[in-house]
Amino acid sequence: MLLSVSDLFKSYRGAEGAIPVINGVSFGVSKAETLALTGESGSGKSTLLHLIGGLDLPDSGVISVDGIDIAQLDDKGRANWRRTVTGVVFQQFNLIPSLDVADNIALQARMAGRQDRDWTAFLSERLGLRDHLRKYPESLSGGQQQRVAIARALAVRPKLVLADEPTGNLDEATADTVMTLMLDLVRETGAALVMVTHSERLAALMERRIHLRAGRLG
């Protein structure tokens, strides 16, 4: 088992006290497995993904990746873990606007000390970005920007790819293209993929799916 989540709880403080968002969630993901996290808006999908990615901390429970409980790591340890183990694809792309496409793709791999020019060239080629490497994100379409984000996430050769509504900002045709490319590349790298989506159509492309309802597995 690559990822093991057990008895996870998370709540946020609001004006009316603590608001529970994740209520005792447990599941696992094997190596190279693809998993869709589905649910209604506000069901806790994104929060769960952020917890798995070490972007936020749970109130209680265990998130273990390759035997390491990331909730027990300090800020520096979690940062190192995010840098080297995961690749994240956000709905809003989150590219660095002042870096060109090539630098954006290489950024995480360089930070992790794993830059492999052949691999990034391969990713650029496969994702159709070769002619756009010297362009800045603002001059790309939404679909192109998301492909840059996917390339950046995979350039580090992560064990676990986390994607939060990666096609939420794209039209259906572009979304399908991007999704297919991402799935193909994830499979080629042997990474596991956990993807948040509320699209039944996209969830069906994954090997397994779990559904969240009010912070519980439904």
Partner 1 sequence: MIRAVLGALWSHWRHNRLQLFTLVAGLALATALWSGVQAINSEARSSYAAAARTLGEGQYDQILRADGRPIAVDTYVQLRRAGWKVSPVIDGRVDGIRVIGVEPLTAPRSLGGVELDAFQAVGDSPPIFGQKAALDALGRGGVVRPDLAPDAVVTDISVAADLLAQTDPSRLLVLPDQRADLPEIDSIDNGLTRRVAQSGSDLSRLTDSFHMNLTAFGFLAFAVGLFIVHGAIGLAFEQRRPMVRTLRALGVPLRHLIVLMAAELLLIAVAAGAVGVVLGYFIAASLLPDVAATLRGLYGADVGNSLNLSPVWWVSGMAVSMGGTMVAAAGALWQISRMPLMAAGRRALAVQGRVRRRIEAICALCLLSLAAGLGVWGQGLIAGFGLLAALLIGGALALPPMIDLATKVGQKSAGSALSEWFWADTRQQLPSLSLALMALLLAMAANVGVSTMVSSFRLTFQGFLDQRLAAEGYVYADTEEQAKALQPWLSSRTDAVLPIQKVDIAVRGLPTEVYGPIDHETYRSNWTFLTATPTVWDDLHGGGGVVINEQLSRRSGLALGDVVPVGGRDFVVVGIYGDYGNPIGQAMIDAGDFAVLFPEAVPLRFGIRVADSALPDIFADLQSEFGLPVANMVNQAGIKSFSMGVFDRTFVVTAALNILTLAVAGFAILMSLLTLAGLRVPQLAPVWALGMTRRTLGRLELGRAVLLAVLTALFAVPLGLALAWALLSVVNVEAFGWKLPMFLFPQDYLRLIAQAVIAAMIAAAWPAWKLQRTAPADLLKVFANER
Q: Does 89 bind partner 1 (CB under 8 A)?
A: no
Q: Is 75 in the site for partner 1 (CB under 8 A)?
A: yes
Taking CB under 8 A as the rule, does residue 99 contact partner 1? yes
User: How many Cβ atoms sit within 10 Å of the Cβ of residue 50?
Assistant: 17
Q: Is 83 in the site for partner 1 (CB under 8 A)?
A: yes
Q: Name the packing angle between helices 142-155 and 117-126 (round to 10°).
A: 150
What's the min distance (Å) between Cβ of 70 and partner 1? 12
Q: Please tell me whether residue 126 binds partner 1 under the rule CB under 8 A.
A: no
CB of 208 to partner 1, least distance (A): 25
115: Cβ contacts below 8 Å, ≥ 6 apart: 106, 109, 155
Q: Does 72 bind partner 1 (CB under 8 A)?
A: no
Q: Is 84 in the site for partner 1 (CB under 8 A)?
A: yes
Contact flag: residue 71 with partner 1 (CB under 8 A): no
Q: Are 38 and 26 in contact (CB under 8 A)?
A: no
User: Are residues 49 and 35 in contact, defined by beta-carbon separation less than 8 angstroms?
Assistant: no
Note whether 98 binds partner 1 by CB under 8 A.
Answer: yes
Q: Which of 1, 19, 68, 96 binds partner 1 (CB under 8 A)?
A: 96
How far apart, in whole angstroms, are the C-alpha atoms of residue 114 and residue 107? 10
Three-state DSSP state, 112: coil
Interface residue with partner 1 among 103, 116, 176, 207 (CB under 8 A) is 103
Main-chain phi, psi angles of 71, to 5 degrees: -65, -20
DSSP state of 51: H
Q: Amino acid identity of 134?
A: R
- Cα 99 versus chain centre, distance: 21
Distance CA 47, CA 9 (A): 11
Contacts to partner 1 from residues 150-189, by CB under 8 A: 152, 169-171
- Rounded least distance, CB 80 to partner 1, Å: 6
Site for partner 1 contains 53 (CB under 8 A): yes
Exactly one of 110, 126, 135, 211 binds partner 1 (CB under 8 A); that residue is 110
**Residue that has been written with the tokens 């993904």 in this structure:** 49
Q: Does 14 bind partner 1 (CB under 8 A)?
A: no
Binding site for partner 1 (CB under 8 A): 50, 53, 55-56, 75-76, 79-84, 88, 90, 94-99, 103, 107-108, 110-113, 136, 141-142, 152, 169-171
